[in-house]
Amino acid sequence: MATFVPRSAFPALDSLPRSYFLGHHRAGLSRMKSMLSQMDLVIECRDYRIPLTSRNPLFEEDLAGKERLIVYTKQDLGSHGTPADRAREQLIQNSARPSSVLFSSYREKSTTLRILSFARNHTMSKESLLGSRMMVVGMPNVGKSTLLNALRAVGVHKGKVAQTGAQPGVTRKIGTTVKIIQGLESSGDVLLVDTPGVFVPYVPNSEAMLKLALCGSVKDTIIAPTTVADYLLYHLNLRNPLSYREFTEPSNDIIEVLNAVARKTGRLQKGGLPDVEASALWMISRWRNGHLGKSVLDEVTQESLEADRSSIGGIGSSLSQGRKMIKEIRKQKSKQKYLESQ
């Protein structure tokens, strides 16, 4: 049997949409900005699996001036706890200074306790009898509401208050203020406000958009599931081609893999034909829930972190820049279609 050789690169897909910045994203960001003066701390959530791609520069631009705690959620889906994982986390923490960084997994109570401890110490340092108000922000579906529920459950032993879901957009408005720490005599309660996820105005390359789609920051209807599954297959083959061995041998052909998944899981159409799209969605969901291994999709190095910090025009950019870039892409596509029709 020939040795399997995975693809060394994923092709650029210029036809993919480069924006998912919706009306409620704009409205939510505007409301957050108006509430900023009432907040003592901004807790920004980013996805551990895409630590660079899930950074939204709009938060740094529009919510500047407040102390920030950056929480990388879903650590359990990306970290094996190896020295390499810890070294990557140290790089991320060093790069974020002066902001503080913590890593979170809703399955690990200890990570929730660390965030509560940070919030309590921050409140006590203010020496305010009125307590503290904090705001949790982040890209769509990075785990803001899940984090809020975990903080409330551990902090004050109360049940779920924020709705969560597999698709982005469950939280579409600024939520009510929720108590996460009971106040002491020397300080009041610690309150947290949930907010809707805000997408970046413009994504500069197709791979970044695929990463966001794979991690669930974009609705599954925006990009063809087979395309997202193909990108997932590309990463699985680079890291562990045996992660899907219960379905088929290692392959670079996504249709071949999805056909095997369909037959194995019974996702068949009339006549026994494989339901490729349903199989793609199932495969993506399995990865999102950690059943196809753990991985970090972004390359995290000192150089990549420095480039990310210095380039506001990378993932994101301002609203006006985003509009200009989208307009230019449409112009180029129209020109290409005209030339092809001649």
Closest CA to 133 of 83, 184, 188: 188
Tokens of 219: 């609705």
pLDDT band at 111 (very low <50, low <70, confident <90, very high): very high
pLDDT tens-digit readout, 35-85: 999 999 999 999 999 999 999 999 988 888 899 999 999 999 999 999 999
Say what the alpha-carbon torsion angle 335, 337, 338, 342 is, to the nearest 10 degrees.
140
Tokens of 239: 């890291």
pLDDT tens-digit readout, 205-252: 899 999 999 999 999 999 999 999 999 999 999 999 999 999 999 999
**Using CA atoms, how far apart are residues 333 and 304, in angstroms rounded to an integer?**
30
CA 32-35-39 angle, to 5 degrees, is 105
Give the three-class secondary structure for 177.
strand
Q: How many other β-carbons are positioned within 10 Å of the β-carbon of residue 129? A: 10
**Using CA atoms, how far apart are residues 40 and 96, in angstroms rounded to an integer?**
19
Per-residue pLDDT at 166: 54
**Using CA atoms, how far apart are residues 78 and 301, in angstroms rounded to an integer?**
16
Per-residue pLDDT at 330: 53
Average pLDDT over residues 309-320: 56
Tell me the residue type at 58: L
Closest CA to 235 of 292, 182, 151, 158: 292
Q: For residue 293, what are the β-bridge partners? A: 291
Give the sign of the dihedral formed by CA 214, CA 219, CA 220, CA 221. Answer: negative
**Using CA atoms, how far apart are residues 200 and 54, in angstroms rounded to an integer?**
9
**Using CA atoms, how far apart are residues 89 and 259, in angstroms rounded to an integer?**
38
**Using CA atoms, how far apart are residues 222 and 44, in angstroms rounded to an integer?**
25
